[in-house]
C-alpha cells in the first residue's frame, strides 16, 4: 500500500474539485466501486500501482499534478486543485464512526491487537436460509485487522456483499455489516474462543429476509475458518470475491448430523426437552470432524 497520511481527506478534495463521483472515478480507473469506497473511508490506502494511475488521471485534468501533491498538506492541495486556500479541508468520518457504537471500541481494538491470529483469515458460514425453511446455505468472507486497529469483515454470497466490522467484546464477538447497495443491515453475535487460533465460532445471525416485507429473521449459524490471508490486500480481496461468487446452497452431504441438528433446531415449546448438548462443538479435536471440507 502507498503510505499517504490523511489520504481520505485528500482524495475528497480531488474528487470534489474535479466533480468526480466515486462511481465515475472507479470507472475511469477500471476498478470496482467498492475499492474507491474503501479508499474514501480510510479502510485502506491504494496500492502504489493504483496511486500512480490515480495521479495520472488527475494530471490529465489538472496539469502539473504529481505524486508529490499527495504528500502536501490539505491546504496546499486544495489551493493547487482550484479550491479556496483558506477554506477548511473537508472532514472525512473515520469508518469506526459510521454505524458502530463508540463504547467498547477501545476494548475491541485491544483484543484485536492481542489476538489478531484468532480472527484473521478466510471464513465460511453455514446457516439456515432466511427465506426457505430447512435449507442450509453458505456465505464466504474474510476478516482482516484494519489500519485503525479494528477487525474489518467482508461477508457475502451469490452476488450479495456486506462490509463492516467484527468486535470482540466481553467474551463474545459482535458483527455489524451493511450492504449499501440494498440499504440492508446484517448483525451476528458469536461465542468467542479461548484458543490461540480460532477455527470455528457458533452463534446467531439477525438480518431481514429477502421477501417483500423484509421480515426480521434470526437463525443459528456456524462460522468456520477455510483459509489464511496472503498479506497481499488486493490478492486477498480478489480471492474473497471469487468465494462470494459461488452458489450459496450448502452441500448437505458434507455436514454432520450433529451440526444439522444444531442449525435446524426447534425453537418452539418443545425445544427445552429436545435441546442438544454442544460439547462436540467445544472440543478442539472435533473441529476438523464437523463434516466440512477444509
3-state secondary structure of 188: strand
Name the 3-class secondary structure at 45: coil
| Measured CA distances, 213 to 102, 131, 178, 210, 273 (Å) | 31, 11, 18, 8, 33
51-98: pLDDT as tens digits: 999 999 999 988 889 888 898 888 888 888 876 433 333 444 344 444
Q: Residue 156: phi, psi to the nearest 5?
A: -175, 175
- Reported as a pLDDT band with limits 50, 70 and 90, residue 260 is confident
* Per-residue CA distances from 32 to 37, 38, 56, 92 (Å): 9, 10, 18, 21
Closest among 117, 114, 160, 116 to 141, alpha carbons compared: 160
Which three three-digit cell numbers place residue 27?
A: 470507472
CB atoms within 10 A of CB 47: 15
Cα 207 from Cα 223, distance rounded (Å): 16
Of 131, 125, 157, 126, give the one whose Cα is nearest residue 217.
131
pLDDT score for 100: 57
3-state secondary structure of 140: strand
CB atoms within 10 A of CB 283: 10
d(CA 20, CA 180): 19
Query: How many CA atoms lie within 13 Å of 252's alpha carbon, on the beta-carbon side?
Result: 14
Average pLDDT taken over every residue of the chain: 79
Domains in the chain: ranges and CATH:
7-92 (1.10.260.40), 97-266 (2.40.128)
Highest mean pLDDT among 2-6, 110-114, 120-124, 237-241: 120-124
Q: What letter does residue 266 receive in the DSSP assignment?
A: -
136-157 pLDDT, tens per residue?
999 999 999 987 788 999 998 8
Amino acid at each position: 500500500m502507498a503510505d499517504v497520511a490523511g489520504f481520505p481527506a485528500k482524495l475528497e478534495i480531488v474528487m470534489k474539485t474535479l466533480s468526480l463521483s466515486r462511481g465515475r472515478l472507479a470507472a475511469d480507473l477500471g476498478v470496482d466501486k467498492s475499492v474507491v469506497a474503501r479508499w474514501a473511508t480510510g479502510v485502506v490506502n491504494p496500492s502504489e500501482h493504483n496511486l500512480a494511475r490515480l495521479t495520472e488521471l488527475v494530471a490529465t485534468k489538472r496539469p502539473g499534478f504529481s505524486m508529490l501533491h499527495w504528500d502536501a498538506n490539505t491546504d496546499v492541495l486544495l489551493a493547487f486543485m482550484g479550491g479556496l486556500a483558506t477554506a477548511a479541508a473537508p472532514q472525512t468520518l473515520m469508518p469506526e464512526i459510521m454505524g458502530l457504537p463508540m463504547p467498547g471500541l477501545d476494548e475491541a481494538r485491544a483484543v484485536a491487537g492481542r489476538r489478531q491470529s484468532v480472527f484473521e483469515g478466510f471464513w465460511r458460514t453455514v446457516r439456515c436460509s432466511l427465506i426457505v425453511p430447512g435449507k442450509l446455505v453458505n456465505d464466504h468472507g474474510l476478516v482482516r485487522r484494519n489500519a485503525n486497529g479494528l477487525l474489518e469483515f467482508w461477508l457475502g454470497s451469490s452476488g450479495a456483499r456486506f462490509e463492516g466490522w467484527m468486535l470482540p467484546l466481553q467474551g463474545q464477538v459482535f458483527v455489524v455489516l451493511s450492504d449499501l447497495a440494498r440499504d440492508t443491515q446484517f448483525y451476528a453475535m458469536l461465542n468467542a474462543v479461548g484458543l490461540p487460533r480460532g477455527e470455528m465460532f457458533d452463534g446467531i445471525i439477525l438480518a431481514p429476509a429477502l421477501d417483500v416485507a423484509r421480515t426480521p429473521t434470526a437463525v443459528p449459524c456456524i462460522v468456520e475458518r477455510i483459509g489464511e490471508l496472503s498479506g497481499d490486500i488486493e490478492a486477498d480481496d480478489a480471492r474473497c470475491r471469487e468465494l462470494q461468487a459461488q452458489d450459496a446452497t450448502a452441500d448437505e452431504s458434507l455436514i454432520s448430523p450433529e451440526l444439522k441438528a444444531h442449525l435446524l433446531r426447534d425453537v418452539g415449546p418443545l425445544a427445552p426437552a429436545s435441546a442438544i448438548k454442544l460439547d462436540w462443538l467445544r472440543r478442539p479435536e472435533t473441529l476438523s470432524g464437523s463434516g466440512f471440507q477444509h
